[in-house]
Chain A
Amino acid sequence: MAKLTIPAQELMYGGHAACPGCGPALAMRLLLKGLGPRTLVSIPACCWTVIATPYPTTALKVAVLDNAIESTGASISGLRAAADALGLDKVNIVGFAGDGGTADIGLQALSGMLERRTDAIYVMYDNEAYMNTGIQRSGATPWGAWTTTTPVAGDLRGKPEPKKDVMGIVLAHRPAYAATLNPAFPEDFNQKVEKARDIVGPRFFHIFTPCPPGWKFDSAQTIALGRLATDTGVFPLYEVVEGRLRITRKTGQLKPVAEYLSAQGRFRHLTPDDVTLIQAQVRSDWERLQKREREDLSLAH
């Protein structure tokens, strides 16, 4: 029998307002299990504004602060400053922002927080579009994906630009810790949360959070799709500690990316040539990641 490594504590109430199969809801639940009750969460305008349920109710058993959509990085700097000024011990400060609130409008405040070495965890939960406003493209939407502002019509075949490399931007700031997390791999997820919890300095999580209504897939398939994302190499799992990258889920042979794409309505229009292009990009990114890991490993010795 495998030992269950996920903490039993639940800091999220069942009566939240997420859609069935919501990836961001799972991400928050797992995150809080690893961080514990002394956690302050700052949430900008995003799906989680609503998931946390309206006044006077709340879906979380921890303290929540709402902040403007572009200022999550500054908000957690303020919470950390106040916690230090008031002598509050052992408090986890967390910013929990969507991909739009991070990769686009919140990028400046994120950069400022990382550069100031704020002792806090910034989470980008990535559902790859502005989902709370109804599926508009963000900088984190992948190439070829349909959204309401990247329609499929005539020559138009979804988003014509590639996904923004937010991890690359974050790593350029040399954070104390950065990792990719996927709720479909809860042990890996929890290990990273517990590891980051005990590190001092700016920490960043890029969490993969499938969105059934936005990506057009059956809400019963969130975990299956999450596993496919990592097993095809679309969303590899790794962590970077003090600049050294380690892949935390080794995939001997990547599954064909077509399996991941064909499971979602947002990619339904892609031609075999499109899929070949995406496959080539995913393979090249995966090879680059493995090369970086080998180089970092050799530096470590």
Chain B
Amino acid sequence: MTAKVLSGNYAQSYAALLARAQVVSAYPITPQTSIVEKIADFVASGELHAQYVKVESEHSALQVVISAAALGARTYTATSSQGLLLMHELLHWASGMRAPIVMGVINRAVAPPWNIGADHTDTMSQRDTGWIQFYAESNQEVLDTVLQAYRLAEHPDVRLPAMVTEDAFYLSHTVEPVDVPDPAVVDRFLPPREPHAVLVPGEATRLGSFTGPEHYVDFRHQIGEAMARVPKVLETVETEFERAVGRSHGGALPTYRIDDADAVLITMGTSTTTARSVVDELRASGRRVGLAKLRLFRPFPDEELRRLARGVDRIGVVDRSYTFGPMGPAATEVSAALYTARHRPEVTSFLAGIGGRDVTPGEVRRMFETLLSGAPATVHWEDLEDEGVTRIHG
């Protein structure tokens, strides 16, 4: 194991290197570019023996890896924001093809107006495309999760594409010490892909095809069943990763100080680190608060959530995006998952960190205060309460 000082983006590049991706394809977009630049260096230096296809759009980038995966190759691509939106049609193709592609996504705001700050609207609007979605909190977690995502995506019980997301700039361009496992260790954890149901030259095979109503539902249902198996397979993958590398990231919904908590905040990505420090601070002053991190958003870890919620009366969910539903997108999922629970806590939706706003300790403190005050559950646009930033109205 080697400690390197890496950005979240370089953590993605090193993970693709360690995974021995065989075909890489990408189109540049801020703030993803340093991932694919670093991979270009790895390929140029001969460290990574990959075919690197530099394409004319993100749409083509995803098609290249879908077709490469159809022939049995291990593939990697990365994008962000508008690029991910352009891929939308092919995101469905990838999952429908059961292509075990791993993609790095830098969570960035969606235009207009142009904004390159951290925001989850890009990946949230792709949550229904049949991709496994991880949200990473640290650069270490980025690297480790990409490696785990390959095992998960290629697992015979899963065979679905996975995206590993990281917050723009907070992770993508911020460096921190990252333990880079030895290639031999990773090779043992992640052996070469075992191709399944791939095209074979010279044989009458077809991937994709078309069907009428008699078969289509079966294809969709099989994707649903594969998705449902993900949390269980992730547990196995994390156990094996821990055995090989000596680290774990706590599965789909890791929790922090939730025992006896009156209020639990659920976060995604980098706001988790801030919230954890606030939990410590409030706990020190005797407040009973806890934290849970939605590390896996697709499939949604509803069983884990219901277990967590058994003893909690008030849950707050921090969304770094708004999807014009009844609440923030994660809050909506949390509410839906808990509606059928025997013990049904109140769920409050906090929208914070939109378009690159900082989610500050003060904001998180206010969220906990709102939860503990017993105020009726509602949607709070936390960014609008922040007095430190000049806005065009208010």
A71 touches B208 (CB 8 A): no
B60 touches A112 (CB 8 A): yes
Residue of A nearest to B207 (CB): A65
B25 touches A78 (CB 8 A): yes
Residue of A nearest to B64 (CB): A78
B67 touches A78 (CB 8 A): yes
A109 touches B60 (CB 8 A): yes
The answer to whether A86 and B71 touch (CB under 8 A), given A68-B89, A77-B64, A78-B63, is: yes
Q: Does A195 contact B (CB under 8 A)?
A: no
B70 touches A68 (CB 8 A): no
Show the binding face of A for B, using Cβ within 8 Å. 37-40, 42, 49-50, 52, 54-56, 58, 60-68, 70-71, 73-79, 81-86, 88, 91, 108-109, 111-112, 115-116
The answer to whether A83 and B56 touch (CB under 8 A), given A40-B199, A66-B207, is: no
The answer to whether A85 and B206 touch (CB under 8 A), given A78-B64, A112-B55, is: no
28 residue pairs bridging A and B, Cβ less than 8 Å apart: A38-B202, A40-B201, A42-B67, A54-B209, A54-B212, A55-B206, A55-B210, A62-B201, A63-B201, A64-B205, A64-B208, A68-B63, A68-B89, A68-B90, A73-B60, A75-B63, A77-B53, A77-B64, A78-B68, A81-B53, A81-B68, A82-B51, A82-B69, A85-B73, A91-B201, A108-B56, A108-B57, A109-B57
Q: Does B194 contact A (CB under 8 A)?
A: no
Q: Which residues of chain B from 1 to 44 have a CB within 8 Å of any chain A CB?
A: 22-23, 25
A63 touches B200 (CB 8 A): yes
A74 touches B67 (CB 8 A): yes
Q: Does B211 contact A (CB under 8 A)?
A: yes
Q: Which residues of chain B from 36 to 92 have a CB within 8 Å of any chain A CB?
A: 49-51, 53-57, 59-61, 63-73, 89-90
A78 touches B90 (CB 8 A): no
Of A40, A65, A108, A116, which contacts B53 at CB under 8 A?
A116
B206 touches A52 (CB 8 A): yes
A82 touches B200 (CB 8 A): no
A67 touches B67 (CB 8 A): yes
Q: Does B260 contact A (CB under 8 A)?
A: no
Q: Does B93 contact A (CB under 8 A)?
A: yes
Residue of A nearest to B60 (CB): A74
B59 touches A74 (CB 8 A): yes
When distances are taken between beta carbons in the complex, the residues of chain B under 8 Å from A86 are 22, 71-73
Of B23, B60, B203, B208, which contacts A65 at CB under 8 A?
B208
A226 CA / B199 CA spacing, docked (Å): 34
Is the contact region of chain A dominated by helix, strand, or loop, or is it mixed?
A: mixed
Of B68, B72, B89, the most chain A CB neighbours within 10 A belong to B68
Of B49, B72, B93, B203, which contacts A68 at CB under 8 A?
B93
When distances are taken between beta carbons in the complex, the residues of chain A under 8 Å from B49 are 85
B63 touches A79 (CB 8 A): no
* Distance between B67 CB and nearest chain A CB, rounded to angstroms: 3
* Distance between A19 CB and nearest chain B CB, rounded to angstroms: 17
The answer to whether A58 and B206 touch (CB under 8 A), given A82-B73, A108-B57, is: yes
B63 touches A88 (CB 8 A): no
Q: Does B391 contact A (CB under 8 A)?
A: no
Q: Does B342 contact A (CB under 8 A)?
A: no
When distances are taken between beta carbons in the complex, the residues of chain B under 8 Å from A74 are 55, 59-61, 63-64, 67
* Distance between B199 CB and nearest chain A CB, rounded to angstroms: 4
B212 touches A67 (CB 8 A): no
Q: Does B221 contact A (CB under 8 A)?
A: no
When distances are taken between beta carbons in the complex, the residues of chain B under 8 Å from A116 are 53-55
Q: Does B392 contact A (CB under 8 A)?
A: no
A66 CA / B50 CA spacing, docked (Å): 24
Q: Which residues of chain B from 213 to 240 have a CB within 8 Å of any chain A CB?
A: 215
Of A52, A60, A82, which contacts B71 at CB under 8 A?
A82
When distances are taken between beta carbons in the complex, the residues of chain A under 8 Å from B68 are 78-79, 81-82, 85
Known: A77-B60, A82-B67. 10 other contacts (CB 8 A): A58-B205, A65-B199, A67-B67, A74-B59, A75-B63, A78-B63, A78-B67, A78-B70, A81-B25, A85-B51
A81 CA / B25 CA spacing, docked (Å): 10
Of A42, A49, A79, A81, the most chain B CB neighbours within 10 A belong to A81
Residue of A nearest to B22 (CB): A85
Q: Does B375 contact A (CB under 8 A)?
A: no
When distances are taken between beta carbons in the complex, the residues of chain A under 8 Å from B51 are 81-82, 84-85
* Distance between A50 CB and nearest chain B CB, rounded to angstroms: 7
B202 touches A66 (CB 8 A): no
* Distance between B300 CB and nearest chain A CB, rounded to angstroms: 27
A50 CA / B202 CA spacing, docked (Å): 21
Of B54, B61, B67, B211, which contacts A54 at CB under 8 A?
B211
